[in-house]
Structure 1
Amino acid sequence: MTTLNDRPNTALLVVDVQNGVVAGSHERDNVVANVAVLVGKAREAEVPVVWVRHNDEGLAKGSPEWNLVPELTPSPSEPLVEKSYGDSFEDTALESVLADLGVGHLVVSGAQTDACIRSTLHGALARGYDATLVSDAHTTDDLTKWGAPPPAQVIAHTNLYWTHQTAPGRTAGTVATKEVAFKPGA
């Protein structure tokens, strides 16, 4: 249903599951395990997995914190997009990678819920993509000392509003890891 012409394919987008991003995140191990399940399902169905990795002053390229978590290893054939802004599309090659793959629907997982995940979801929908958030495959840190709600509430709220997100000619929504069923070759 995407508004992007000739983009019938789906891709799994794995955003910022890096050592320095998820080290202290809410339910880190469960979320990383769910992302690993999603990667396995996508690969089995021959659905593209597109990895996104953030870098900035606090997450320097080449540092141990910048590396993806050891539980997740991109295949050499899977695109890895480098970014420096919250929205994974902003000033990156993501759009051209997805265009080359014929992707119009993104299944989104990763971190941080209240930053890069939200920005990327909105960026995708605004650019014409269908965007599905995997409700139990994204996480965030505890930012309550800066006035944010506890992480579980941030995650629940993001799942709630993305479940009901709409845009003309595009779909949004959430799905749990166990419910994700990639169609082979889609």
Structure 2
Amino acid sequence: MTTLINRPNTALLVVDMQVGVVAEAYRRDDVVATIAALVDKARGAGVDVIWVQHSGEELPRGSDGWQYVPELARRGSEPLVAKEYSDAFEATDLESVLAGRGIGRFFLAGAQTDECIRSTLHGAITRGYDVTLVADAHTTEDLSDYGAPPPELVVAHTNLYWQYHKAPGRTAGTVNAVDVDFAGPSDPSPSEPSPS
């Protein structure tokens, strides 16, 4: 259970699925389709969908690359959180958006696995949230030329370590998109790590 008081609600948080962020991403089309299905599932369940959009020197606000991929359309009633740092909570209004909707638990999807997804996972759990990573709904680009592991290993490793992450009074874990239950318990049961 979340350590936050009066936060019984659940949300889907979609991070940085922007044209310039995922143009060269691992399994880009599969991940986009998976997230689109999750968004539909959340809307059908009456669960808030919160969108996060990054900007910076390499991704200027208003540029073509800054736009969300066309396959993912935000509804006007769904919050959009602008960010400039990896952690979606850092110097943004995400906390007030979640608090205003009574959200203490969320499922996380988006990009990039080894930067904004990991930072937001840790940012959330240290702030008291229950946070479940959707194992097949996040991706990253290939940075192996810079010494990083191949993207499929980055995704698999992130799923592995988050599946078993623990913090007092909070839950972490992973789940595949097909098994996401927005009305279910906040304590995800460990399952086999997804290889991708």
Tell me the TM-score range normalised by the shorter chain: over 0.9
Name the SS for the 1:53 alignment partner: strand
Q: Which digits, 9 at most, give the CA deviation of each residue in 1:28-54, with x for residues without a partner?
A: 000000000110000000000000000
Whole-angstrom CA distance in 2 between matches of 1:18 and 1:183: 28
Matches within 5 A, 1:6-25: 6-25=6-25
Matches within 5 A, 1:113-152: 113-152=113-152
Whole-angstrom CA distance in 2 between matches of 1:170 and 1:182: 17
Name the SS for the 1:181 alignment partner: coil
The answer (yes or no) to whether the contact 1:41–1:181 under 8 Å persists in 2 is no
Aligned amino acid, residue 169 of structure 2: G
Structure 2 gaps of 5+ residues are: 187-196
Name the SS for the 1:171 alignment partner: coil
Structure 1 gaps of 5+ residues are: none
Partner of 2:181: 181
TM-score, normalization by structure 1: 0.98
Whole-angstrom CA distance in 1 between matches of 2:160 and 2:138: 13
Whole-angstrom CA distance in 2 between matches of 1:119 and 1:29: 23
Partner of 2:193: none
Q: Which digits, 9 at most, give the CA deviation of each residue in 1:31-80, with x for residues without a partner?
A: 00000011000000000000000000000000000000000010100000
Whole-angstrom CA distance in 1 between matches of 2:23 and 2:101: 32
Instruction: Tell me how many residue pairs correspond in the alignment.
Output: 185
Partner of 1:47: 47
Whole-angstrom CA distance in 2 between matches of 1:38 and 1:153: 23
Whole-angstrom CA distance in 2 between matches of 1:106 and 1:60: 28
Name the SS for the 2:173 alignment partner: strand
State the 1:82 CA deviation.
Answer: 0.2
Whole-angstrom CA distance in 2 between matches of 1:35 and 1:133: 12
Partner of 2:67: 67
Partner of 1:83: 83
Query: What root-mean-square deviation, in Å, do the aligned CA atoms of Structure 1 and Structure 2 show?
Result: 1.1
Name the SS for the 1:52 alignment partner: strand
Whole-angstrom CA distance in 1 between matches of 2:136 and 2:107: 12
Partner of 2:194: none
State the 1:183 CA deviation.
Answer: 2.1
Whole-angstrom CA distance in 1 between matches of 2:147 and 2:65: 25
The answer (yes or no) to whether the contact 1:104–1:129 under 8 Å persists in 2 is yes
Whole-angstrom CA distance in 2 between matches of 1:38 and 1:170: 23
Partner of 2:98: 98
